[in-house]
Amino acid sequence: MITEVSAVAFRQNLGEMLNQVQYRNDSILIKKDGKTVAALVDAELFARIRRMRDRFDALSGQLAESYADVPAEEGLAEIDALVAQERGR
């Protein structure tokens, strides 16, 4: 479950919020002035997110290297064609 709370409510109920995340695997979205500014998630989920981000960064770097000598228009056209092909499946 995802709970949204104000920063003030979060600060006032930190212990309870930590229990929600730790024992019920909930996530807490913390809002300030109506805008989401942070999230409190289970440590295991956070570790998975970090691994996914690291893998994404590595793959992005490999793509950038592979297309370094390709003009931008040509690379974008190839990407658009591949996306269209996948969506057609």
pLDDT one-digit tens code per residue, 59-68: 999 988 988 8
78/52: higher pLDDT: 52
Q: Is the pTM of this model over 0.85?
A: no
- Quote the mean pLDDT of the chain: 94
Model pLDDT for residues 1-18, shown as the tens digit of each residue: 899 999 999 999 999 999
Predicted confidence at residue 66, as pLDDT, reads 87
Token pair listed for 85: 């092909």
Between CA 35 and CA 89, with CA 49 as vertex, the angle to 5 degrees is: 100
Token pair listed for 16: 């309870």
